[in-house]
Chains A and B, each alone.
Chain A
């Protein structure tokens, strides 16, 4: 279903490491009132993994995702996506870098209201000037359960359906990493489960790499591993997580940080 399509402007094959961050630092504000959002974060995520990033509010989760995805520039450190360093540059340059390498799924869906489901899905391909394979678009949309809703507009869909369109849009370019920012934050339990299963399926069945920021232990339990973040630093890792184990760990995250310091 999510097979690799023809890729333009692309290197030979996927690198073994889908995402690598080396000593990434980012702070906001000026001198006196500066807030450190990321404090020398180093991590590497292998290809075909499903990783959840967790932490309390203000721990730097969103900043981490934005820096890793090239939506924000780190103050120092290196970000590598699919083995290629994400270099500083104009927005246009970064956008071109992201096309085909990175897919997004946001809490607020971010679908364009004026476009239909099918049009929203092909938008990244059109913007990148790539050929639109209609059969494949239909295939991806059918896979997320929206094969009969191609001509609908976002305002005619439920929250869960909109998020599934967003997932189809992220998958259709066949990116090296998919970043999901609180993808279930605005959904009811059932829709949330559907969305998480789709992300899981993309990883397990089709070898995609997914990085998901969330504050929900249940959502995190769908991932292969969980990275904990506190005060801009990595504060532990949990493999094969269960919702209870994640919640337990999260509740004592403050203690860990104090003992570390």
Chain B
């Protein structure tokens, strides 16, 4: 089976590009931040510098692991779903489920190893750049040299490998089980996340204006609330109202029917909007408040700011990769369906407008719930920290976040659909049959 895995990678490298990209980005980020452990562990590094470096490595390292897992899992799930026919053929030729599982997990492991190997040099450069950022802002002594050692290398490779293999294993298990309604566990988790998020947001009021930990509860509350919304994403799509016009009608029927598959895309959108809007707005309100008071930021506060920006940056990149990948895969897979619509009398323009409407509904739903989750965190924070209820800073941040989300969702869907439409309708229906 491993030989088969290697052969399928060599024959069709394009199929693994998305997985490779997620593994590469993930490994690069993990290695970059974990090289801060190596740097801090060198002899002769003073305690303040070391603490800064440890915090950075710890916080982002944890986030990074989770993100790698989700990104690789999302690309692999799509990969397994698209290869259903091939896997079925292997099953008919006598492959046992365990053999198939070994093949897909083997492929994922090889792709993860290649991804982490490619990530080593960029991570070395990235680590050096990150250290310079810390040194420029005076958080780390200038005398400290960057070191890329065993911890960075091993953690990068291990985490990426484990995440990829685990994600492949889960994707196969899910594919074997077939279509299932979301279980009670998921619903329970969703309500638990919403309750915990609400509690975290409310606890903001228990802190005083100058507490250094004031930023934590609203940000985490927002994230939890958005996770809760994301877990209920499939259900949100069922309730979309039917607009007028043939394209709108068809789009909404598709959204309702395929809500399970589209939930992943909606999840990415909600998380992206909530996390980036909440973190960036709260950070800007805090910075402006400090500046207005005429104070100088402490090293600790600066650390927090750098971390906030880095975390948001990482999330933006990852979520964009996931969004673009899953939308591309989902749309390019619909050639046959588009062909059927065209044979039933839809012009290419009508098909594009169906795809556009779907993407628009997804974006609006995702942004709406993401914004609500973000505001739930931002409002308590500004009420405690300043005088306003809704800070002015939120508008600029929100506009940028929403534009990125809209461009990624609409752009990917429409560009992919246009490419798919180049195949004549009769062929599109026959080829993928």
The answer to whether A110 and B348 touch (CB under 8 A), given A91-B342, A126-B246, A127-B246, is no
Residues 351-382 of B at the A interface (beta carbon under 8 Å): none
The stretch from B27-35, B214-222, B252-260 touching chain A is B252-260
Residues of B within 8 A of A91 (CB): 342, 347-348, 425
Residues of A within 8 A of B433 (CB): 108
Residues of A within 8 A of B339 (CB): 110
Assess whether B257 is in contact with A114, with CB atoms less than 8 Å apart: yes
Assess whether A127 is in contact with B424, with CB atoms less than 8 Å apart: no
Contact string against A for B residues 401-433, beta-carbon threshold 8 Å, 1 for contact and 0 otherwise: 000000000000000000000001110011001
The answer to whether A127 and B254 touch (CB under 8 A), given A72-B424, A108-B429, is no
Q: How far is the CA of A214 from the CA of B117 in the complex (A)?
A: 57
Assess whether B337 is in contact with A127, with CB atoms less than 8 Å apart: no
A104 contacts the other chain (CB 8 A): yes
Residues of B within 8 A of A71 (CB): 343, 424-426
Q: How far is the CA of A72 from the CA of B249 in the complex (A)?
A: 29
Q: How far is the CA of A113 from the CA of B250 in the complex (A)?
A: 12
Give the bracket for the number of chain B residues in contact with chain A. 20 to 34
Residues of B within 8 A of A108 (CB): 429-430, 433
Assess whether B349 is in contact with A124, with CB atoms less than 8 Å apart: no
Residues of B within 8 A of A66 (CB): 426
Assess whether A96 is in contact with B426, with CB atoms less than 8 Å apart: no
Name the distance in Å between A186's Cβ and chain B's nearest Cβ: 10
- Please name the residue on chain B nearest to A116 by beta carbon: B253
Assess whether B253 is in contact with A114, with CB atoms less than 8 Å apart: yes
Q: How far is the CA of A85 from the CA of B69 in the complex (A)?
A: 59
Assess whether A92 is in contact with B347, with CB atoms less than 8 Å apart: yes
Residues of A within 8 A of B249 (CB): 126
Assess whether B342 is in contact with A95, with CB atoms less than 8 Å apart: yes
Residues of A within 8 A of B258 (CB): 114
Query: CB < 8 Å: which of A72, A112, A128, A129 contacts B426?
Result: A72
Assess whether A112 is in contact with B425, with CB atoms less than 8 Å apart: no
Assess whether A110 is in contact with B429, with CB atoms less than 8 Å apart: yes
Query: CB < 8 Å: which of B254, B344, B426, B429 contacts A123?
Result: B344
Assess whether A106 is in contact with B349, with CB atoms less than 8 Å apart: no
Which residues of B approach A to under 8 Å, CB–CB?
A: 246, 249-250, 253-254, 257-258, 337, 339-350, 424-426, 429-430, 433
Which residues of A approach B to under 8 Å, CB–CB?
A: 66, 71-72, 91-92, 95-96, 98-99, 104, 106, 108, 110-115, 119, 123-124, 126-129, 169, 173
Sample of 27 A–B contacts (CB below 8 Å): A71-B425, A71-B426, A72-B426, A91-B342, A91-B347, A91-B425, A98-B345, A99-B345, A108-B429, A108-B433, A110-B339, A110-B344, A110-B429, A112-B337, A112-B340, A113-B337, A114-B254, A114-B257, A114-B337, A123-B250, A123-B341, A124-B344, A126-B246, A127-B344, A127-B345, A127-B350, A169-B344
